[in-house]
């Protein structure tokens, strides 16, 4: 298939690009490299361009004529979105709409969108199904939800179908060691703990030890980035085969606490490091775990890396030999 991937030089996008290339798809990456890395796009053709460039995207789409667009490009820091909400509404929502307009004008019919568990805010019950009411608690979550709504409306008004994947916590790295997570600043738990293990950071802080979870720390559903990537390939095939527009959660349905992740990192790496306890951070729900049965049933999604140890081993391998 011919696929345009926005944000394909970023963490999750690069793992999807790699799998698309491996199965022989024709992939074009569009990324402004604000947070991405040229090397991460691998052998895919890379156009360095910004989502806000409507004319540029119209040209690109007209020339390349993709059968589908996968849209990863966005800002991803929840905390920053609280400090600077308009930065998130501009890039994730307004620029997302600009891309959608270019897609409409160029006759793109299939679209896959990176949404987030952040659209649920603090869910009433876990595992959380897609039918739970969206109720974001930060601008990042809203910035994603607005795009979901626009997609829903586009799908009812035009010959256009989409899949929105609400990722829980992406983690791990491709076992080849060629690509992995490289954010600056890094805010995700597993790479932060690994940096403490490697000595790049002095230690780590646990924010909140008095949550109503078994050990008092936050529980998250960590999903290996290659399993996430595979869900995108399956979503592409689903849309190509005429599947209707859908929203799917993407997680394993099992959560690990911060303390459990720290213990697993110590075990995998054999390293010790300091852990300090700090008060809760605003906007962190106690527990976020996905009910992904719809994804498994409808797209026949079968995770291959559903194991915290494997997630940490692949991330550690990347951390020790990172290329960017």
Ligand X SMILES: NC(=O)c1ccc[n+]([C@@H]2O[C@H](COP(=O)([O-])OP(=O)(O)OC[C@H]3O[C@@H](n4cnc5c(N)ncnc54)[C@H](O)[C@@H]3O)[C@@H](O)[C@H]2O)c1
Residues at the site binding ligand X, with contacts judged by CB under 6 A: 7, 9-13, 31-36, 50-51, 72-74, 76, 91, 95, 114, 116, 167, 169-170, 183
Q: What's the closest the beta carbon of residue 137 comes to ligand X, in angstroms?
A: 15
Residues with Cβ within 8 Å of residue 234, at least 6 apart in sequence: 299, 300, 301
In the complex, what is the shortest distance from the CB of residue 28 to ligand X, in angstroms, rounded to a whole number?
13
Residue (114 or 138) nearer to ligand X, CB: 114
Nearest distance from C-beta of residue 311 to ligand X, angstroms:
12
CB-nearer residue toward ligand X: 58 or 271: 58
Nearer to ligand X, 24 or 68 (CB): 68
For the bound state, the minimum distance from the C-beta of residue 125 to ligand X, rounded and expressed in Å, comes to 20
Measured from each CB, the residue nearest to ligand X is 10
Between 154 and 290, whose beta carbon lies closer to ligand X?
290
Does residue 140 have an active-site annotation?
yes
- Among 11, 89, 120, 140, which one carries the catalytic annotation? 140
* Active site members: 140
């Amino acid at each position: 298939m011919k696929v345009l991937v926005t944000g394909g030089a970023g963490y999750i996008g690069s793992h999807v690009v790699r799998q698309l290339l491996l199965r022989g798809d024709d992939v074009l990456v569009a990324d402004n490299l604000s947070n991405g890395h040229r090397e991460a796009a691998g052998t895919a053709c890379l156009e360095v361009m910004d989502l806000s460039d409507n004319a540029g995207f119209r040209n690109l789409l007209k020339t390349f004529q993709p059968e589908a667009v996968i849209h990863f490009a966005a800002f991803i820091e929840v905390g920053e979105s609280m400090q600077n909400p308009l930065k998130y509404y501009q890039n994730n929502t307004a620029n997302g709409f600009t891309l959608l307009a270019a897609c409409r004008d160029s006759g793109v019919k299939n679209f896959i969108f990176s949404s987030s568990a952040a659209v649920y805010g603090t869910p009433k019950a876990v595992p959380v199904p897609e039918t739970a009411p969206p109720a974001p608690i930060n601008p990042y979550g809203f910035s994603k939800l607005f795009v979901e709504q626009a997609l829903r409306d586009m799908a009812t008004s035009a010959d256009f179908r989409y899949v929105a994947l609400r990722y829980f916590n992406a983690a791990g790295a491709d076992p080849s060691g060629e690509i992995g997570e490289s954010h600056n600043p890094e805010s995700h738990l597993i790479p932060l703990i690994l940096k403490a293990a490697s000595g790049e950071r002095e230690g780590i802080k646990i924010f909140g030890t008095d949550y109503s979870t078994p050990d008092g720390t936050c529980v998250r559903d960590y999903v290996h980035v290659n399993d996430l990537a595979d869900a995108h390939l399956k979503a592409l095939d689903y849309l190509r085969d005429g599947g209707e527009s859908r929203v799917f959660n993407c997680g394993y349905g099992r959560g690990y606490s911060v303390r459990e992740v720290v213990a697993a990192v110590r075990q995998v790496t054999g390293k010790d490091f300091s852990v300090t306890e700090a008060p809760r951070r605003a906007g962190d729900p106690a527990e976020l775990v996905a009910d992904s049965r719809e994804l498994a049933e409808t797209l026949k999604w079968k995770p291959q890396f559903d194991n915290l140890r494997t997630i940490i081993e692949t991330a550690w391998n990347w951390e020790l030999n990172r290329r960017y």
